[in-house]
Chain A
Amino acid sequence: HPRAPRRADRRRRRVLRARARKVRAGGGARRPRARAERRGGRSRGRGDARRRSRREGAMFFHIEQEKNIVLEPMYFGKRMREMIESRVRQEVEGSCTGRHGYIVMVTNIVHISEGMITDDGTARAKFHVKYSAIAFRPFKNEVLDCVVVQVTKFGFFAEAGPLKLFVSNQLVPEEMVFESVDENAYVDKTDISHRIVKDIEVRVKVVGLRIDHNEIFCVATMKEPYLGPSPA
């Protein structure tokens, strides 16, 4: 019918305007979050109380998450489940959120709900998918090993997997001085073989995190005991 789509459009525009108004009032969320994400996106209540009260960061986690997938009618059919699984993988793997860190891979799909037809005038269906994934997330005061990528006189940049870290020259021990003879390096005055150059493994401690909406950047220190370049 010529009028029905327009009514749906008007309703949709009204909903979007209201949502935008709320976001503006509420402080600038960059995208409307799915209901499952707002709720916390995870199943709760498992694990004993003792474990729940003491948790610390150590990078790799196996977590359960939930996501809504909207599927077009052309995919309804025999291969719908595979299509949903591949959509989840495409959207989630390789992404990074401040909340869960980098999602390395989806290990398995736990449950796919029945599809609900959306009411926005298109005949798409929304599925609520629960899946488990491997997440990589650093925490404050965590010690980890990383690989030096670039050395400058202000400090050096390192990488731990997909995570980038920066160690400022003020957080490098005083006995290590910057030299730029052949290549930029921090060399230990007391032991010349002890040096920080590109591609060397270093143990650092994370002191600060900057969590953007799709990137995590860490600042780390090497000034504490038992930190520094790994022995060759």
Chain B
Amino acid sequence: RSLLARAEKRDARPDLAARVAATVVATALASLDRAERVARQFGSRGVDRRTTIAMSGLACTKKVVEDEDAQELRLGEDFTDAHCLSMDEVNLICAAKLGDDLDKIGEPTSTTQTKVFEMTNAYVRRFAKEAASRQTEAFRNLYAQAGLTDFEGAIMVNLNFGDYEEAIAHLPSLARKGDDGILIHSEEKVSKLIDDMADVRRFE
């Protein structure tokens, strides 16, 4: 707004200066409006800009670590809606990406040449059992039918439990009780699921 006042004062001067001043003023006002809109957006959530920037520093890191605990099924807000993938599925995706690159372009792209991708690829190839897409689909169906959440199912596929005791030791959330005090997933159901998964692995 002070820019606008200064621009008006300069209107007496040659045209070019006035036109440029007007453009600059217009963009300044536009950015002011945007800043106000952003501030209002944050303000409406009860968080002002300073707090937001403070949260983006150390406080955010600490908050993230305190809020999460895999055993109690607390994962933090970022992953509440995310789909969990097992190592077999990631193996398929990485292999598909490498295959696609070779088919379409004929040489590897920058995606597959990052250190993170190479290490992840080596890791899932080592630990994923001989995965076919039929197997991973079968696993997904099995644990979805049993009523397990994505992550519990992914861990079951990754870790390949032998029996109910091992499953409970690694996934205490499987032994959680509902509001009426009864186990949500009964021992027979979980044991059956473990056996079915072992069968899929053995016979497909």
- Interfacial residues, chain A to chain B (CB-CB below 8 A): 1, 3-4, 7-8, 11, 22-23, 25-30, 33, 35, 37-38, 40-44, 46-47, 51-52, 54-63, 86, 89-90, 93-96, 98-100, 102-107, 119, 134-137, 139-145, 147, 159-162, 201, 203, 205-206, 209, 211, 224-226
**C-alpha spacing A64/B57, complex, angstroms:** 22
Q: Which 4 A-B pairs have the closest CB atoms?
A: A94-B114, A55-B75, A26-B54, A161-B123
Point out the residues of chain B lying under 8 angstroms from A33, CB to CB.
53, 56
Point out the residues of chain A lying under 8 angstroms from B119, CB to CB.
159, 161-162
Point out the residues of chain A lying under 8 angstroms from B123, CB to CB.
147, 159-161
**C-alpha spacing A52/B151, complex, angstroms:** 12
Q: Across the interface, do A22 and B50 meet the contact criterion of CB distance under 8 Å?
A: yes
Q: Across the interface, do B58 and A56 meet the contact criterion of CB distance under 8 Å?
A: no
Within the complex, the shortest CB–CB distance from B162 to chain A, in Å, comes to 9
Point out the residues of chain B lying under 8 angstroms from A51, CB to CB.
80, 149
Q: Across the interface, do A47 and B31 meet the contact criterion of CB distance under 8 Å?
A: no
Looking at the complex, which of B81-89, B131-139, B193-201 is the stretch in contact with chain A?
B81-89
Q: Map CB proximity to A onto B23-40 as digits: 1 under 8 Å, 0 otherwise.
A: 110011011000000100
Complex partner residue of B68 from A4, A140, A161, CB under 8 angstroms: A140
Q: Across the interface, do B154 and A58 meet the contact criterion of CB distance under 8 Å?
A: yes
**Given that A26-B53, A134-B85, A161-B119 are contacting pairs, would A56 and B70 also be in contact in the complex, using a CB cutoff of 8 Å?**
yes
Within the complex, the shortest CB–CB distance from A95 to chain B, in Å, comes to 8
Within the complex, the shortest CB–CB distance from A116 to chain B, in Å, comes to 9
**Given that A96-B116, A105-B111 are contacting pairs, would A63 and B78 also be in contact in the complex, using a CB cutoff of 8 Å?**
yes
Q: Does B124 touch A at the CB level, under 8 Å?
A: yes
Point out the residues of chain B lying under 8 angstroms from A22, CB to CB.
49-50, 53
Q: Across the interface, do B54 and A93 meet the contact criterion of CB distance under 8 Å?
A: no
**Given that A4-B20, A96-B116, A141-B69 are contacting pairs, would A42 and B169 also be in contact in the complex, using a CB cutoff of 8 Å?**
no
**C-alpha spacing A60/B136, complex, angstroms:** 15
**Given that A54-B73, A99-B64 are contacting pairs, would A61 and B50 also be in contact in the complex, using a CB cutoff of 8 Å?**
no
**Given that A56-B149, A224-B169 are contacting pairs, would A136 and B120 also be in contact in the complex, using a CB cutoff of 8 Å?**
yes
How many residues of chain B have a CB within 8 Å of chain A? 76
Complex partner residue of B116 from A94, A142, A144, CB under 8 angstroms: A94
Within the complex, the shortest CB–CB distance from A203 to chain B, in Å, comes to 7
Within the complex, the shortest CB–CB distance from B50 to chain A, in Å, comes to 6
Q: Does B177 touch A at the CB level, under 8 Å?
A: no
Point out the residues of chain A lying under 8 angstroms from B154, CB to CB.
58-60
Q: Across the interface, do A23 and B53 meet the contact criterion of CB distance under 8 Å?
A: yes
**Given that A44-B81, A226-B169 are contacting pairs, would A57 and B28 also be in contact in the complex, using a CB cutoff of 8 Å?**
no
Q: Does B110 touch A at the CB level, under 8 Å?
A: yes
**C-alpha spacing A42/B76, complex, angstroms:** 13
Q: Across the interface, do B78 and A99 meet the contact criterion of CB distance under 8 Å?
A: yes
Name A51's closest neighbour in chain B (CB-CB): B149
Q: Across the interface, do A28 and B82 meet the contact criterion of CB distance under 8 Å?
A: no
Q: Across the interface, do B114 and A58 meet the contact criterion of CB distance under 8 Å?
A: no
